[in-house]
Each structure stands twice: as structure tokens, then as C-alpha cells.
Amino acid sequence: MCCRTARVATTTTEGLADAAAAQAPGTTGPAPHLILVDGSGYIFRAFHALPPMTRPDGVPVNAVFGFTNMLGQFLTRHVGTHLAVVFDASRVTFRNAIYDQYKAHRPEAPPELVPQFSLIREATAAFGVACIELDGYEADDLIAAYAKAFEGTGGQVTIVSSDKDLMQLVRPGVQLLDPIKQKPIREPEVFEKFGVTPDKVVDVQALAGDSTDNVPGVPGIGIKTAAALITEHGDLEGLLAAAPQIRQPKRREALIAHAELARISKKLVTLDSDAPLPAPVDSLLVRAPEPGRLAGFLREQGFRSMLHRMGLDGDANADSAPVSRPRHAPASATGLPEPAAATAEVTPAADAAPFGPYETVTEAAALAPWIAAAREAGVLALDTETDSLDALHANLVGISLAVAPGRACYIPLRHGPAQAGADLLEEAPKPPPQMTQDEAIAALRPLLEDPSVLKVLHNAKYDLEVLCRAENGGVAVAPLDDTMLISYSMDAGRHGHGMDELSLRHLGHRPIPYDEVTGTGRARIPFGQVALDKATAYAAEDADVTLRLWQALKPRLRTERALALYEQVERRMVAVLRDMELAGIKVDGAELARIGEDFSQRMVTLEKEIHELAGKPFNVGSPKQLGEILFDEQKLPGGKRGKAGAWGTDAAVLEDLAARGHELPRRVLHWRQLSKLKSTYVEGLAAQIDKRDGRVHTDFSMALTSTGRLSSTEPNLQNIPIRTEEGARIRRAFVAEPGHVLLAADYSQIELRLLAHLADVPSLREAFAKGEDIHSRTAADIFRLDPDKVDREARRRAKTINFGIIYGMSAFGLAARLGIGPGEARGIIDAYFSQYPGILEEMERLKAQARETGYVTTPFGRRLWIDGIQAREQARRGNAERAAINAPFQGGAAEIIKRAMVRMPAALRAAGLSARMLLQVHDELLFEVPEAEVEATAACVRAVMEGVAELRVPLKAEIGHGANWGEAH
């Protein structure tokens, strides 16, 4: 056997070459080390993590790309003496003979993945790595068998997989490596996951089952319970023998009834370490790839960036970072340089430049060349580091800049002495040398405020709020691009838009996690105490990633027809929302306290009455205890158990019982209402009042919802109560400053107007045009009534169905809401659709569009991706279909109000008004207005809101004002 091979001098194969030079087991040299890569796990992860890609000839290759990239990266980092990638060979294995349902509900591989399996085996071979597979056995069994066989050599085994089923193999000499987290999994990690040592894992799995593999287990027993039982009884057989003595009746019965199921489950999850080895262990010895084979393979797939990154494209300068980009003629409305056009390459091109090392800039002389490079390029990526996620309280700790891929620096400003690794010297630790904030800001301000240099940020609103505050330099960064919003403008609903996720998805690069830099929990240190080398590696990488994301994503805006949406709406929202968040809204804390006191007293009374009615004290706030009292003890009718086996006690259930004259549920409903208001709004809100200005400042999330709406957190000011009198009291605690009023402007029936517009319904269009009541018109149409004969009940029913339609409601759902039979509900829906055939067509069109393209569009062209529309499970697909129906209405409304918001500040200014926009609540805008300007402001706001879009129906805003938010409605 020959094991010495020529050293191949490429970055990627270096690790391999080192290993190949190692001695075979049994001789002197590095200890034998077998690495077994779970290939199937890699494939599915790559397939699902990456967007579709195709070769020029149309063959889908996203999984091939992801797999090749991962394997290549892995080989640069890990050295073994023996190496194999192990695959599943077929769907049917010996386990199906034991239990025919095993993995039975696993869907067939998606058609786009099928042609990629053989390419992935080719890729493995191209790296010179052995491919192992065997009919009738899963990859996991082969891994178990090789691990066992290799142990005889006295060597170490590392299994690269995140599959928990492999944890049973962990033992001295055998470890797992999580390929995502790059974290070894040894006994403590297994214990953390399963609550038992690795040798007991199969016993726990036998009890807990595994829904993803259709391993049944024992019903009602999860991992936690299983671990406790196995710990107590040793193993599965010990437990089954002792089952009759178990105290808990449910558990005892389940164990006795399903003993055989548990035994079968154990057989299913136990890996077969006696599986035959398709190739001898010795043949897995690491060898260098045949020269040119890998390059040839990569070239065939069109993976040019990878070829380049691995130094296989014959370019001697492959590793040197580009220092500057050629300038481009301004191509967009911004008049600013555009990133390089998308390359023809199908891959999410990862740049050749490495991520780091980066420079730490600690003096003005070192900062100057970065500023010059940014001016030369006309664009830079920017990121701030702070000591808080709350932008309004955060102190600037440092700034990072990137001027080209791989060329980034970190400028520490308020770093203290590094905390970790403090030595034992007596003298007080000193902060590291660094520029002062004044010094750095003085140098950077002209650049950051220069209208001819584009600043690229990720979630720019945060950085803008930090930097605009005087204590952090008071810099007004402009103009800007925001990679989070670029992504959101094209891919809402498709995936998240955080930097780490986008980097992994589009750059194939996993940035250093924040937690890795600062630690977590009690051990977490402020960023300003992180050692400068670590801080630089993290912070400069963020700027580098931001710049590369911008280069990868910005060109797509044009091809995906999202450029106008991004430039005219999303990007302009940044400054608008920044100002709203900075403004905040005043809350009367004393009034909140009075409300809380009142609610407390009433809750005490109610609680006493509830306990009396129950016949014993219990925790009214516990749905579990309440359910047991209502349905187990008092045997009230109408109880339904949820999926966890607990009685359902939500408001609908309690209202039903209350309507039948039961006093206990009625009081509980009232108690719950007060409890909710008190804890969430009285106490939660009071804790959020900023001591500096007596106002609450929300944080609007711009890239979170699947429909284009905003969301609001800490506190959420988009769900302040209003529907009940008690709730309205809380809304009245939101007040205006002296001399001002709050002015609220609501879009009237905006989603129904969009329905009339999109489905082009003549009757509804006419009703809106004439300013009629839309629900009365619907009632007249579908119940064939004279317009003046529409009573309250008919209108109520029409209103329910109008809203139900927008939500994709079924006859079943309508029946439940109206309290009628499904037959009658069916009749109403039929009448509705026969009166408004355009609506039926529109619903069908939306479902079909989502099914065929994966997305639906708003009337303004925004794509909303619908997750699960292709699902095989009917329930999941049904959910997706209803989401597809709703999305254009919810998203269209969101877009209308965003358009009004971006126009509003300039319109107010032009009218000489000093009103401030404070909040957006989906179809409502709230302003704080000087008393003297109320009428003029109302006119201006109305003009902007109603004039923002031309639909087939008019838009209407309803405006009111008052000393507080309650009165403004």
C-alpha cells in the first residue's frame, strides 16, 4: 500500500496533503484519525439553505454548490488520516421490515434535487475522498460500523453530522462534530440533549419516539420524561418490567399498553454497527486528489467563484483583495455609483477575498487612508458597535468600515481594559490605546455626511439613531443603502433578513456570532471590554459582509423588479421611522398607576368570588387548573382537549359557557381581561417610560413581516387596547404635551377598498364611490334586500363575510363565526360569490399564482413569498393558500400607508406645519400637533393619505383629535 503522494499546493487541499503525508495506522507518526462525513445530512441542508440555481444547461445545482463548498471548506480546516463521505443508498432498509411505517411519511426527494445526487458523489470523488454507501443500510448504520471497525486501530473517530440519531455512538475515542456550529459533541453535549449518557440514548429515543422519522415511541412521553424514567430504571427492559409499579396512572397505562411499540422503536433507532463494510478501512486512507480533476469538475458546474477561491483557476493573484472598484456611470435615481452588475455565474458568488484579517485603527494617521479609499470607491460599508441594543440609550463603542471585499477596519473608541485573561499584576488595568470619539468623528463626519459617497449599512435605522445623538457625535449619515431592506424588498416571506442569515445564504460565509465574542448569560461582557483583536475580527467582518451583501443583492433589485419599491418606499422609511422612534409618545404614568390600583382591587374581589364558585382556591391565571375545575370537577359541557391533552379554556369557550348562564366562567373572563391589561399594559408600559422625557419610544421592525407590514416591539405600540371601556382607559393615558393635541388619521376600510379594486367589483366600487356603508351594501346584494331594509343582523353577517373573504375563510369558519350551520354558511358564501364573481376569480387567481411562482404580488408590485404553498400536507398547504389570499390585501394596505408616511414630513414642512408623526398602527397614523395648527394639519394629512394612490375606488381617511389618544378617535 502506498500512502505517500505528491503534495498539492493549493489552499483547499493543503489539509489533505498534510494528512496524506501521515503514516498509516500501526506505524509511528500522527495517531490514526478517521473522519466520517454524513453526506446525506449535508445534501439536504445545502438544498434547503440555498436559493435555486441552475447550470447554463438547466441542471439544478444549488445542493451541489452548497455541498462542494462545505466539503471544500471542511477539508481546509480538518485533518484526518482516513476520510469518507457516507450516503444513504436507498429508501428501503432493514428497518422497514421491522416497522412498515418507518420514515413512511417522508416525501419523495424534490424533483430539483434528484439529478444532484449523482453530481454530489462526483464532487466527493473529485476531492479524492471515498464515497461509502450500501443498499439496505442507512448512512448512519455504515457510520456506526466504520466507527466500530476503526476503534480496533486505537485511533480517534470524528463523525461530522448534526443528526441526533448518531449521538448514541459517542464514547471515548468517538465524537461528533456539528458541521454548522463547528462544535464537538461529546458526552456532556449528549447528556444535555437527551438527559442520559450516550449508551442510554437509544432507550430514551425508544420511549420518546421521533416524529421526523415516524418512530412511534410511547404516546405522551417526551425526551424529558423518558430520560427521568431511564435514569431511574436503567434501561428500557428494566423500565418495562417495573411499569406496573409506576405511580402516575397515565404513564403507567401508556407504558404497559405500548411496551411492544417501545421495543420496536428501540430496534428502529439502534444503529447497526455490524453492517457490512462496502470498502475496507484501509481504503479510506486520505489521498491527494488527482491533479485537475477537482478543477475540471468545478468548471463543468460553472462554479467559477469557487474555482477562483480555491486557487484552481490559474490566476496567480487570486488571493489579493481588489483594492478599488472601477466607478460606474450613475444608473439609478440616486445618482450614486451602482455595484458591479450581476455576473453570469449561477452561484451566489462568494468573493475571492478572504474574510479577514482586518486592521485595528487607533490613530488619525491610520484612519486617513481608509477615508481616502472610501472616497476613491465612492461607497463604503459602515457598522457601529455599542453597549446596548436600545439605540436611544446605546453608547458608541466603535465604528467599522469596509471599502472593498476583504478590506475592512475597526476603529475602537470607548474600549476599556480587556476583561478576559486579566493578569495578576497589581496595577490597575489600562484601556487600550485608541482614538477619542471627537477625533474620529471629526475625521469621519465629512465622509459620512458627503452626498457623493454612498454609505451601506445593515439595518441602518439603528446605526442612524445611535450616530445622530449628540453624545455619540451627532452625525447625520446620508445617503445610504440598507442591505436588510434590499433583501426584504425582494424576498419578504422567503427567509429572515438578519446579516448572519443573509451572509450564509448569499456569501456562503458564516460570520463570527456575537455571543462568541461577548459570551452569554451572566458571563456576557459589554462589547467595550472585548479585547481589540477579537472586537476587530467581529466588527470589521460585519462591515465586510455588509459590503459584499450589497454587491450581491443590489443588482438583483432591478432584475426582480423591486428597485422602485426599495428606493421610493423602503429606503425612505428609514429616516421617517428614525424620527418617529426618537420622538416617542408621552404617557401619563400617574394615571397608569391609578388604573393599575383600580384593576388590582377589582381582581381581588373577582378572585374571591371565583374561588367560592369553584369550591376551593386555585390559580385563576392557570388555564390548566381552570380547565380541570370546569370540566373534570364541575363537568360543564363543551370541553375540548388541546394537543397537549389539556382542556381548552380560551375566551370563546368561556363565553359559550357564560352564555349558558354559568357564573364562574363569566367572572374568569372579566378577571382575565383585567389581568391582561394590568400586566401587559399598565405594568409593562410603565416600565418602558423613558425617565429623560416621560415618553415611550418603540422600535419598529422594518423587515420582519411576510406581508410588508411594520411590527412594533419594546413596547409594542400597535396593540394598545381600545375595544373595551377598561382598555380605552389605558389608551387615554397616552397624552399630548401641553399646548398640543394628538391627531389620529385612519384609513377607512382600506382592505375592502383593495378588494373592490383588485377584483373590480362594480357594486362595491359604486358603494365606495358614493360613500355608502359597505357592509350594508353587501348585505343588500347577497340577501337580495332593499337598501333600506338591511337590519343590524344582516349587516353584521355581511361584515363577517366581507372580512372573512379577505382571510380566505371557509364555510366551516363562517358557520363558527356566525353561529349558524355549515349548510347555511355555504349558502351565504355561494350567494356572495354569485353576486361578486370577480372576487371568486381573484381568490382562485391568487392561489394559482402562489402555487406556480411561489409568491403573490401587491397592487404596487411587491412580491410576497408564500411559505408552504407546495407542501404535500393538506393542512399546511391550506394555511399557505389562505395566506396567499390575504397577503395582497394586507400587503397592499401596508404599502399605501408607507407611501403616505414617506411623503408626510415634506408635505407638513411645505405647509409650514410643525406636527410630528409619532406612531403607525397598520391603517392609522398618530400625530402630535400644536393646538393652533390642528385644522391645517388635518387638511394636510388628509390630502397626503387620500392622494397617495389612484385605485378604482377612492381612498378615505377619517381624522380626529383630542388631549389623548382615546379622544383622538
Partner DNA sequence: TACATCACG
Partner DNA sequence: GACGTACGTGATGTAC
Shortest reach from residue 764's CB to DNA, in Å: 17
Angle between helices 811-818 and 792-806 (to 10 degrees): 140
Shortest reach from residue 752's CB to DNA, in Å: 12
Shortest reach from residue 605's CB to DNA, in Å: 18
444: left (phi over 0), alpha (psi -120 to 50) or beta: alpha
Q: CB-wise, 47 or 631, nearer to DNA?
A: 631
Shortest reach from residue 412's CB to DNA, in Å: 30
Angle between helices 774-782 and 792-806 (to 10 degrees): 100
Nearest to 42 by CA among 184, 134, 178, 169: 178
Task: Specify the amino acid at residue 315.
Answer: D
Q: CB-wise, 502 or 744, nearer to DNA?
A: 744
Task: Quote the CA–CA distance of 503 and 458 in Å, as a whole number.
Answer: 11
Shortest reach from residue 896's CB to DNA, in Å: 12
Shortest reach from residue 797's CB to DNA, in Å: 11
For 893-929, letters b (16+ CB in 10 Å) and e give bbbbbbbbbbbbbebbeebebebbbbbbbbbbbbbbb
Shortest reach from residue 399's CB to DNA, in Å: 28
386 burial level (CB within 10 Å; 0-12, 13-18, 19+): buried
Q: How far is CA 451 from CA 101, 466, 918, in A?
A: 65, 20, 28
Shortest reach from residue 908's CB to DNA, in Å: 22
Q: How many Cα atoms sit within 13 Å of 432 on the Cβ side?
A: 22
Task: Quote the CA–CA distance of 863 and 702 in Å, as a whole number.
Answer: 16
For 878, other C-beta atoms within 10 Å of its C-beta total 14
Q: How far is CA 801 from CA 254, 316, 774, 775, in A?
A: 45, 68, 12, 9
Nearest to 729 by CA among 596, 600, 606, 602: 596
Nearest to 538 by CA among 413, 370, 417, 358: 358
> How far apart are the two ends of the chain, measured CA to CA in Å?
86
Q: CB-wise, 545 or 685, nearer to DNA?
A: 685
Q: Spell out the long-range contacts of 511-520 with Cβ–Cβ below 8 A and sequence spacing 24 or more.
A: 511/355, 511/538, 511/541, 511/542, 511/545, 512/537, 512/538, 512/541, 514/538
Q: CB-wise, 32 or 627, nearer to DNA?
A: 627
Shortest reach from residue 965's CB to DNA, in Å: 11
Q: CB-wise, 412 or 808, nearer to DNA?
A: 808
Task: Specify the amino acid at residue 52.
Answer: P
Shortest reach from residue 676's CB to DNA, in Å: 4
Shortest reach from residue 954's CB to DNA, in Å: 19
Q: CB-wise, 301 or 890, nearer to DNA?
A: 890
Q: CB-wise, 4 or 640, nearer to DNA?
A: 640
Please enumerate in sequence order all residues whose Cβ is within 8 A of that of 383, keeping only pairs 6 or more positions apart, or say none: 399, 400, 457, 458, 463, 539, 542, 543, 546
Q: How many Cα atoms sit within 13 Å of 872 on the Cβ side?
A: 6
Shortest reach from residue 365's CB to DNA, in Å: 45
Render 699-759 in DSSP notation, one character per residue: EEESS--SSS--EEESS--S----SSHHHHHHHTTEEPPTTEEEEEEEETTHHHHHHHHHT
Nearest to 56 by CA among 350, 351, 344, 349: 344
Task: Quote the CA–CA distance of 143 and 219 in Å, as a whole number.
Answer: 30
Q: CB-wise, 172 or 521, nearer to DNA?
A: 521
Task: Quote the CA–CA distance of 35 and 143 in Å, as a whole number.
Answer: 10
Please enumerate in sequence order all residues whose Cβ is within 8 A of that of 616, keeping only pairs 6 or more positions apart, or say none: none
Q: How do 396-404 and 407-412 pair as beta strands?
A: antiparallel
Q: How many Cα atoms sit within 13 Å of 76 on the Cβ side?
A: 12
Unique residue bearing C-alpha cell 493543503: 14
Q: Are 122 and 39 in contact (CB under 8 A)?
A: no
Q: CB-wise, 428 or 652, nearer to DNA?
A: 652
Q: CB-wise, 107 or 314, nearer to DNA?
A: 107
Q: CB-wise, 287 or 709, nearer to DNA?
A: 709
Shortest reach from residue 545's CB to DNA, in Å: 24
Q: CB-wise, 309 or 862, nearer to DNA?
A: 862
Please enumerate in sequence order all residues whose Cβ is within 8 A of that of 796, keeping only pairs 6 or more positions apart, or say none: none
Shortest reach from residue 66's CB to DNA, in Å: 26
Shortest reach from residue 683's CB to DNA, in Å: 7
Q: CB-wise, 217 or 721, nearer to DNA?
A: 721
In the DSSP assignment, the letter for residue 34 is E
Q: CB-wise, 148 or 611, nearer to DNA?
A: 611
Nearest to 155 by CA among 246, 249, 29, 276: 29
Q: CB-wise, 332 or 634, nearer to DNA?
A: 634
Shortest reach from residue 442's CB to DNA, in Å: 38
Q: Are 571 and 577 in contact (CB under 8 A)?
A: no
Phi, psi of 35, rounded to the nearest 5 degrees: -110, 125
Shortest reach from residue 641's CB to DNA, in Å: 9
Q: CB-wise, 77 or 643, nearer to DNA?
A: 643
Q: CB-wise, 213 or 746, nearer to DNA?
A: 746
Task: Quote the CA–CA distance of 748 and 876 in Å, as a whole number.
Answer: 33
Shortest reach from residue 590's CB to DNA, in Å: 20
Q: CB-wise, 190 or 887, nearer to DNA?
A: 887
